[in-house]
A and B are shown apart, each in its own frame.
Chain A
Amino acid sequence: MSPSDSVYLLMLGSGLLGGFGHCAGMCGPLVATYALNFRTVSDPPARDAMLPHLYYHLGRISTYGTIGGIMGLTGSFAGIVQSIERFQNMTMAAIGLAMIIMGLAASGMLPFRKKKGNGSGPGSAASFLSRMVNRVIQVISEARTPGSFYAIGMATGFIPCGLLYTAYIAAAGAGADAQSRTQGFLTGMSMLLLFGIGTAPSLLLIGRIVALKAEWIRRRLYRIAAFFMIMLGVVFIYRSVVR
């Protein structure tokens, strides 16, 4: 086995270990609340229940691979991270806002979905605003197409994460040692793809366990899930603006 092969195995192993030792704690609540929300809004047949999770992780791993490729291409970690940091924080804030909306919608605290034409004239600014907010809430809280799950996964791939940063540092280091930029890009991308694949089992397991809860338990947990969604959303927004 060549040294480069061992690097790939190391990244896969690091993802697997990190998935259970890090991601389960840091991103598990995000996946769990997302899984609960998905189950309630769409209730797919059991055989299709894994598909949204797979699309979600595919999106997340795509982001990792792309950024890993860029790290490998440039051979620089600090430079790339500094340039995407603001975007990462904006993405984190947007995900936080989406989680708050999902949580509020799930708890029934948002009146927009229930009250159509609530006293405002059809052409009024209030009515327009209400329709817009209603549409945004619907898009966020009732996302159910493969594309939307993939997009949510891609977005969460930008969430700042210490374990992920370590993987990017390794990709940048491999890129710096590469003989060409193309090789650096491919090496960095492959390393992060394997790392991402390694992190998937733990998060898939969490999502699956949450989704498999019996209906009556899920109904009881749902309010708690809504509650955690709101809390996590606030934490995400807080962390995106405060270091």
Chain B
Amino acid sequence: MKRFAAVSLICCVLAVMPIPAVHASDPSTDCNIDQGPCSKRAGDREIIFDISPKPVEAMKEITFIVHVVSSDYAPALLLDLSMPGMHMGKNEVLLKKRPDGKYSGTGVIPRCPSGRKLWQAEIDIPAAGKVSYRFNVAF
């Protein structure tokens, strides 16, 4: 009984040990979204991705902004949100074209009670291919 209690206690302590914080410098991220927009290339196009307001927080309505530089593409783009390594269901945001040529739409990034903060936004750019950005969100 004492051994059971001791092992239980040790496991409880291990179980509640804080999950190591994932920082923007984490190699699994490729976009420090809180510092500003992130730029990538899809085909020969430059795609700039941004989220507002900052810091980017889970469980709050946020605006996703995508700028396809020097291009006049479809009237809308689809942004797919997912958590690398964990199935979190289908969470898509429709980005509509604004008068300034950028695409934007509002959505929510859910909080994962496991403590994971890494999310991926994948945008399908017609005729150029898919481009994805991995970033952390604050709780």
Contact = CB atoms under 8 A, between A and B. Distances in A.
Interface of A: 10, 14, 17-18, 21-22, 26, 77-78, 81-82, 103, 107-109, 159-163, 165-167, 169-170, 223, 227, 230-232, 234-235, 238-239, 242-243
B127 interface: no
Interface of B: 1, 4-5, 7-8, 11-12, 15-16, 18, 59-61, 83, 86-91, 107-108, 110-114, 139
B75 to A, nearest CB: 18
A78 B110 contact: no
Contacts of B12: 230-231, 234
A230 B83 CA distance: 29
B88 A22 contact: yes
B11 A162 contact: no
A223 B4 contact: yes
A79 to B, nearest CB: 9
A169 B60 CA distance: 11
Given A169-B110, A227-B11, A234-B16, A163 B88 contact: yes
Given A227-B11, A234-B12, A234-B16, A108 B1 contact: yes
A219 B87 CA distance: 34
B4 A109 contact: yes
Contacts of A109: 1, 4-5
Rank and list the top 10 A-B pairs by shortest CB-CB distance, nearest first: A165-B110, A166-B89, A21-B87, A162-B112, A238-B16, A234-B12, A22-B87, A243-B139, A160-B113, A162-B110
Contact of A162 (B15, B61, B90, B113): B113
Given A162-B110, A235-B16, A107 B89 contact: no
Contacts of A227: 4, 7-8, 11
A120 B108 CA distance: 56
Contacts of B59: 78, 81-82, 165
A114 B4 CA distance: 19
Contacts of A230: 8, 11-12
A165 B59 CA distance: 9
15 contacts: A14-B90, A18-B87, A22-B86, A22-B87, A78-B60, A103-B8, A107-B1, A160-B113, A161-B113, A162-B112, A163-B87, A166-B90, A169-B110, A227-B7, A243-B111
A133 B113 CA distance: 30
Contacts of B87: 17-18, 21-22, 163
B108 A77 contact: yes
Nearest to A242: B18
B2 to A, nearest CB: 10
Contacts of B108: 77-78, 165, 169
Contacts of A162: 83, 86, 88, 110-114
A77 B111 CA distance: 13
Given A14-B89, A78-B60, A165-B110, A231 B83 contact: no
